[in-house]
Amino acid sequence: MAATRIDGKAVAEDVLAKVKQAAADLESRRGVKPGLAVVLVGEDPASQVYVGSKGRMARECGFHSVTHTLPADVPQADLLALIDRLNADPAIHGILQQLPLPKGLDADAVVGRIHPDKDVDGLTVVSAGRLASGLAGQAFVPCTPAGCMVMLRRVLGDDLSGRRAVVVGRSNLVGKPMAQLLLLANATVTVAHSRTKDLPALCREADILVAAIGRPQALGPECIKPGAVVIDVGINRIDAPERGEGKTRLVGDVAHEPASQIASAITPVPGGVGPMTIAMLMANTVTAAYRAAGETPPTF
């Protein structure tokens, strides 16, 4: 039997509906409109597309949305000064520094300058430390793993006690926070990576397999335990000559078709994790606004 398709677009729409309602309620009761500032440095085409989509979604959610576009040769001091101004602006509840930054700029220093209470991308050391300490209710969780957890809960519920989880990938953006979130949900977690020996055998032990290694279709059916839930974070573009000369298509880190014949549920690529990332950015922003107003944030 083919695996159930975990529809990230549908789940994201549900999250965004809750975000819009929460934002409207906060503005109605307290006169506070959630504010999101996105900082873009340089003219990277992909970054421009991402920033544009984030700004549009913020406006759709009823947020106060601003985008600061700086030239690629902006001095580090000027970029840090902008972050300081946004930190001090009470109308801004979330700050997102679009990455990567052009050469010559210190991304760690820039991200680290964002106030932890406005770190809606969940990338500061303070956010990571809070999450690692089990203080998820005080932390901002990076948007992609946060979205993965929302989808997992739709399939398996909130308590993952007794579940064996394997996260393939150890990045600060996905792998490490994903492992922390699974631990907080009482799963037994193993983090695998490029140096892991006999990766397929390890993956076959997983009731929950999260693939976040950035290698197209690297995890084949030999990596899937029968009945596992598979969350495929990868988004890779590969050649698709069957579609015509020069054509490409998007695939995940998991070989989707054979894996879907073994797993019980699996996220597609595209249409799985991707839509959840921007939805959780909006959720983090409305959470930041609620916290700034001294109110308990909604759950998503």
Residues carrying an active site annotation:
54, 98, 121
Q: Are 212 and 253 in contact (CB under 8 A)?
A: yes
Contact at 8 Å (CB) between 39 and 94? no
> Do the Cβ atoms of 96 and 120 come closer than 8 Å?
yes
Distance CA 137, CA 141 (A): 9
Maximal CA-CA distance, the chain: 58
Q: What are φ and ψ of residue 195, in 5° steps?
A: -95, 0
Please tell me the distance from the alpha carbon of residue 169 to that of residue 88, in angstroms, as a whole number. 36
Has 171 been labeled as part of a binding site? yes
153 annotated as ligand-binding: no
| Rounded (10°) CA dihedral 110, 182, 219, 202 | 120
203: left (phi over 0), alpha (psi -120 to 50) or beta: alpha
Q: Is the bond preceding residue 100 a cis peptide, omega within 30 degrees?
A: yes
Task: Confirm if 140 and 121 have CB atoms less than 8 A apart.
Answer: yes
> Is residue 234 part of an annotated ligand binding site?
no
SS3 67: strand
Known binding residue 208? Answer is: no
Q: Please give the backbone phi and psi of residue 187, each rounded to the nearest 5 degrees, phi first.
A: -80, 160
- Pair of tokens at residue 41: 């440095």
β-pairing, 64-70 vs 188-192, is: unpaired
Q: What CA–CA distance (Å, rounded) separates 107 from 80?
A: 10
Annotation: binding site: 169-171, 235
Annotation: binding site for NADP(+): 169-171, 235
